[in-house]
Amino acid sequence: MTINLSNHPIWQEFTEILNKIDLNALVVNHLKACNYKVIGYQDKNDFYEEIEFITPIEAEFISGSLNVTSEKKDESGWITINFMLKAATLTQDGKSLHHQDEIDEIAELTLIFDSNMKCIDENWLIYIESPFIVTKAKNCMQELSPA
C-alpha cells in the first residue's frame, strides 16, 4: 500500500504554525537563558568544559519537524527545529563586523519542544575552530602511577 502525503493539509498547517512562531526569538531566548555558553560538550576527540559564544549571533532556520510516538499517549508529540548559528555580520548601521574571508558559521542547534512549546532538549554541533567562540577544554591526560 502506497500513501502519498505530498498534498496533505498537515504540511500547510505545520508551515502556518512555524510562521506564527518567532523562531529567532526562540534561539535568542535559549542563548540568553544559558548566558551564551554551552557547559559540557563532547566532539569527536575532545571534551570541553565550557564553550562561550563571543559575538552577536544570528540564527538561520534550517528545518522543522513534527514528531509523534505511541509510547506515552499524554506526551506523544513534539516539535524539532534546526538552526544554523552564525556570527552577526552587519552592525545596525549596515557596516561589516568581520572580514569577507572569515567563515561566519558557529554551530548548528536543534531545539526540541513539547506540545506546549516548552523546550525539553537541545542538541549542538559546534564548530570548535570558529574564531567566534572561546573553549575551555578539560585536560583528558591521566597521570600513570607506577605499579
Q: Which three-class secondary structure state does DSSP give residue 113?
A: strand
pTM: 0.79
Low-confidence ranges of the chain (pLDDT < 50): 101, 140-145, 147
Sign of CA dihedral 74, 108, 40, 25: negative
Each domain of the chain, given as residue ranges in start order, spans 16-137
pLDDT in tens, 79-92: 999 999 998 865 55
Report the largest interatomic distance among the alpha carbons of the chain, rounded to a whole angstrom.
69
pLDDT at position 143: 43
